[in-house]
Amino acid sequence: MTQAIGLSVDSPLDRDDEAAQRRSLKAYVALALGSVLFIFTIWYQVYGDTRKDAEAWVDPFLQSHRQWRLRTAFLFMMWSILAGFCVPFGFGILVFIPVWIGFLYRVTRGFAWFAMHRVI
């Protein structure tokens, strides 16, 4: 199809798509580190996924994974804050455990679907 519209195989669009996939893979790695480096993960998701060149992600596959990572980071942040408020009452760890399990599930599922090149 790219030949029909006059683009070569190594067109800038293809290189941009590969660069976006590499950024997406780096974002999943940063998200996986989020259970240890919470602030880094949120910063990377917000900076990496909302900066200007994120608008160039018109591929539905990359866009779906971008939204999945942002939701994962946001949910992890919000539930962690709630769990932090529960610590003084003695049941904070009971909230943290499901938060971490849910976070690891979303990261693993997102990364697996990304590796299979499936829209999430």
| pLDDT per position as a tens digit, 20-43 | 788 788 777 777 776 666 666 666
Helix ranges (H only) for 33-91 are 38-50, 60-86
b/e burial code for range 31-45 (CB count within 10 A of at least 16 → b): bbebeeeeeebbebb
The pLDDT assigned to 50 comes to: 65
User: What tens-digit pLDDT sequence spans the chain (120 residues)?
Assistant: 444 454 444 544 455 677 778 878 877 777 777 666 666 666 666 666 666 565 566 778 888 888 888 888 888 888 888 888 888 888 888 888 898 899 889 989 998 998 898 888
- Is the Cβ–Cβ distance between 110 and 69 less than 8 Å? yes
